Amino acid sequence: MRIISQNGEFDFPYDAIALRASDHAIHALFGPDARAILVALYSDEEMVKKAMNRLLTYMGTSMPFFQFPTPEELNNR
């Protein structure tokens, strides 16, 4: 599975990153220096939790990629 940033700028193989959730953002830790790259930005911690839960749901499917949803997409589902 591939993980795509909210804005589509970054595309990572899932098994090559670690994800870190904070109060308002999700970062991918990537590369030998574990550089933190912003992959999603939200207005509050609840939206971060919703986005991470959506990722966990997708991991149980055969979908080839997951793109972090925008805040509007999270509110519409």
pLDDT at 53: 95
In one-letter notation, the amino acid at residue 29 is L
Domain boundaries along the sequence of the chain:
2-68
- Position 76 scores a pLDDT of 84
Stretches where the chain sits below pLDDT 50 are none
